[in-house]
Amino acid sequence: MCPGIATDHEYSEQELDRIIQEAVEANGSVRDAVIPILSEINQKLGFIPVESLGKIRRYINTPEAGLFLADSHLYAVASFYQMFSLTPTGKHVVRYCASAPCHVEGGRQVIEALQEQLGLQPGETSHDNQWTLLKTSCLGVCGVGPVFLVDQDIYGNVTPEKIPHILAKYR
Amino acid sequence: MKSIRTMILVTNDPISVERGAQDVFQMFQTEIRKADLYDEIKLSTISDVGEREDLPLVIIYPEAVIYSQITTEEVPVLFDEHIINGRIVRSLLSKMHEPVGEIAWLRARLGALPAQQRVVLGRVGQVDPESLADFLTQDGYAALEKALFEMTPEQVIDEVQKSGLQGRGGAGFPTGRKWDFVRSAHAQPKYVICNADESEPGTFKDRLIIEGDPFSLIEAITIAGYAVGAETGYIYIRGEYNLGFERLQNAIRQAEEQGLLGNHILGKDFNFHIHLHAGAGAYICGEETALIESLEGKRGQPRARPPYPPSYGLWGKPTLVNNVETLANTPHIIRNGGEWYHQFGSEKSRGTKIYTILGNVNFTGVIEVPFGITLREMIEIYGKGMEKGARLKLVQTGGSSGSIVPASLQDTPMDFESWRSTGASLGSGAMLICDEHTCVVDLAKVLLDFFRFECCAKCTPCRVGTQRCYEIVDSISKGLGSPDMIDELKILGADMELLSNCGLGQTASVAVRDILKHFKDEVEQHIFEHKCAAGVCQFIQKTPFEQNLLSAQAGAEIESEEVVP
């Protein structure tokens, strides 16, 4: 349930198998476990490798019990939700709130400063794989807007001047 | 709990934590353990104390004394002097504010605002959210006990109907009737779903309930299950609410251990289980049928309705879907009776409503007040007035899908009917208060950008409509607008409202509609004069007059060039 935690992108076949197996065991091989299983893989690897979808399908498909899933079903789910990433993310993921409350409280300047200092547009990952910049909808901490997240840490009442200090902690 | 004499709060916002607030917290824990004062002193954390230079703070109640820039070295001194000897350590006192102002500021922050009536949030901040034992000392589970031992499921539903409780998720559907629909559906099994996918921008009331009083929600869902005849409940919490997830997980575990969830609850012939399900980031999953699809492990795309969830919901079975705040009201109604609930609110909107106040006011945060107060009262009393020098221009209500209310309507009582009659909606209770520096075109652009981003892309009117509306408003904001764009927006908006499959598409154009209704002049100013009164929009194109002038000059240059050879 956590968005992309920074990890190395290198993993072995066996490791992926183990992660998938554990996720399926913990959540059960039923249709409604699909999202929790994908969450767990996304959390452990920082993204969901496309080749894992076929493996998940093989684990939880039980046509005799009326549960039939194609890879495309899983891809449809994995590509729908914003907390899932199908491509590797940078070591640190910055998510800024683009909703109206933060915007009114000075969010536009913060977004511009973030883009400038990271040298990234929303959705991009830096060449050295250090940073990914993403847009997110309301994080529910509007009382201290504008807000952005670095990995799991929330920063509120942000001004463009504070951004270098915040980012420096992760460099 | 009753014997607590002192409460110590340590700030835990990111800045404080960076400066070692966690060590300070642990140090206090050690001191309390050393002095064996577990029963008398409550140690807790406080976040969100505002922008300050002197963090971390340590706040001690009931004296409401604030110490600033506390490090681990100062903790033993502070503890011995203040807690044991009862002497205030002057050298460590916060210097930022005068003491009197400080206390007033703090009280406001902690929610002791004048005339707030806290029913749903009554226990938030007073109860240990991680302890069932503490919850039980504060009337916890009294409602479930009453329902199970003294009432039939029909009587429970009657009581909710009598109270006049309406859904707090935005639509305002009578809760008792919904429960009755599910109860009278024939198919089995039935399900109860608590919609905790609170993603409406500017709304965090449900987070407060979940994080501050999770057991009350578990109790409420259990009561709902008993009333409608369900044995399984789900809580669909949004993926971003990590703390809420942990608190609910803990609450469910403790309730199961004590026999308040599971088989034969309180020894009665009633079984009920609750599953916790985290979302994965999709605004649309707050729509009830999209939420059900997502629970089933699919893309969160809304179903065609009817059939509605009370007859065809999760796995095709009768399903009750209620918002967190709605459910959190029910234990109070069951415990005190439906009549009791009538003392709050107005004739047709019973009870209290939790609002989040945001934007250009002095106090931003959550309040719970009866229906019927006006916007002006909300801003002046609870928002502590507009920020210095700011004048109210508009209020954006109910999150992105809500409406835009101009300052001229700020004396309308805030309840479901009065607002409906002005064409506005209360929605989720988010109140974004905007001053003169807010440009309506820019605001519409942000809202439409949100919708085109969050659109699930299932139906065409919404998928294409949100994108096209955004493009039009974007061009107006850049000075590329043309006079026919206003009509195009109106037609598109009407089409989307009529033809979209779900609430997202139906309400995506509401903000634009309201802006064209109340602030048409300002939009026209953008189109014809390339002028933004608020000074927000940056125009990339010149006005027609300037253009003519430029082309005339260019023409003159070309002519002169021709003359030269």
- Inter-chain residue contact B297 with A140, CB threshold 8 Å: no
Sign (positive or negative) of CA dihedral B523, B526, B529, B535: positive
Per-domain residue ranges for chain B? 6-110, 132-341, 352-435, 440-529
Say if CB A100 and CB A21 are below 8 A apart.
no
pLDDT digits (tens, 9 = 90+) for A48-98: 999 999 999 988 888 777 778 889 999 999 999 988 999 888 889 999 988
pLDDT in tens, chain B (565 residues): 345 677 788 888 788 888 888 899 999 988 888 888 877 787 877 766 666 777 888 888 766 678 888 888 889 888 888 888 777 787 887 765 434 333 444 444 444 334 567 888 888 877 889 999 989 988 899 999 999 999 999 999 999 999 999 998 877 899 999 999 999 999 999 999 999 998 888 888 999 999 999 999 999 999 999 999 999 999 999 988 888 999 999 999 999 999 999 999 999 999 999 999 999 989 999 999 999 999 999 999 999 989 999 999 999 999 999 999 999 999 999 999 999 999 888 888 888 999 999 888 888 888 888 888 888 888 888 888 888 888 999 999 888 888 899 998 888 888 888 888 888 888 888 999 999 989 999 999 999 999 999 999 999 999 999 999 999 999 999 989 888 999 999 999 999 999 999 999 999 999 999 999 999 999 999 999 888 999 888 888 776 777 777 777 766 655 555 554 4
CATH of domain A92-168: 3.40.30.10
**What architecture (CATH level 2) is domain B132-341?**
3-Layer(aba) Sandwich (3.40)
B6-110 shares its CATH topology with B352-435? no
Question: In whole angstroms, what separates CA A46 from the centre of its chain?
Answer: 7
pLDDT at B415: 85
Q: Residue B153 gets which letter from DSSP?
A: H
pLDDT digits (tens, 9 = 90+) for A112-158: 999 999 999 998 999 988 999 998 878 888 888 899 989 888 898 89
Q: Residue A144 gets which letter from DSSP?
A: G
- Of A77, A81, A105, nearest to B359 by CB-CB distance is A105
Say if CB B293 and CB B303 are below 8 A apart.
yes
Region of B141 please: left (phi>0), alpha (psi -120 to 50) or beta.
left
Alpha carbons B29 and B14: distance in angstroms, whole number: 20
- Inter-chain residue contact B203 with A138, CB threshold 8 Å: yes
- Chosen from B240, B431, B458, B538 to mutate, greatest number of chain A CBs within 10 A: B240
pLDDT at A53: 93
Q: Residue B303 gets which letter from DSSP?
A: P
pLDDT digits (tens, 9 = 90+) for B108-130: 444 433 456 788 888 887 788 99
pLDDT at B111: 43
Interface of B with A in 481-510 (CB under 8 A): none
Per-domain residue ranges for chain A? 13-80, 92-168
Helix (H), strand (E) at residue B160: helix B153-163
Bridging pattern class, strands B191-196 and B319-323 = parallel
**What architecture (CATH level 2) is domain B352-435?**
Roll (3.10)
B520 touches chain A (CB under 8 A): no
- Strand pairing partners for B463? none
- Inter-chain residue contact B48 with A144, CB threshold 8 Å: yes
Q: How many CB atoms lie within 10 A of CB B54?
A: 14
pLDDT at B114: 44
SS (H, E, C) B499-517: HCCCHHHHHCCHHHHHHHH
- Of B245, B300, B366, nearest to A80 by CB-CB distance is B300
Q: Say whether domain B440-529 belongs to CATH 1.20.1440.230.
A: yes
pLDDT at B346: 82
Burial of B380 (0-12, 13-18, 19+ CB in 10 A): middle
pLDDT at B561: 53
Burial of B523 (0-12, 13-18, 19+ CB in 10 A): buried
pLDDT at B96: 53
Residue B5 to residues B26, B43, B78, B86, B436, Cα–Cα distance (Å): 20, 11, 17, 12, 47
ipTM of this predicted complex?
A: 0.89
CATH of domain B6-110: 3.40.30.10
Alpha carbons B102 and B112: distance in angstroms, whole number: 14
Cis peptide before A101 (omega within 30 of 0): no
User: Residues near B437 by Cβ (< 8 Å), separated by ≥ 6?
Assistant: B360, B390, B534, B535, B536
Q: Which residues of chain A have a Cβ shorter than 8 Å from any chain B Cβ? A: 1-3, 30-36, 38-39, 73, 76-77, 80-84, 98-101, 103-105, 135-145, 152-157, 169
- Inter-chain residue contact B443 with A103, CB threshold 8 Å: yes
pLDDT band at A3 (very low <50, low <70, confident <90, very high): very low
CA distance B365 to chain A (A): 5
User: Residues near B186 by Cβ (< 8 Å), separated by ≥ 6?
Assistant: none
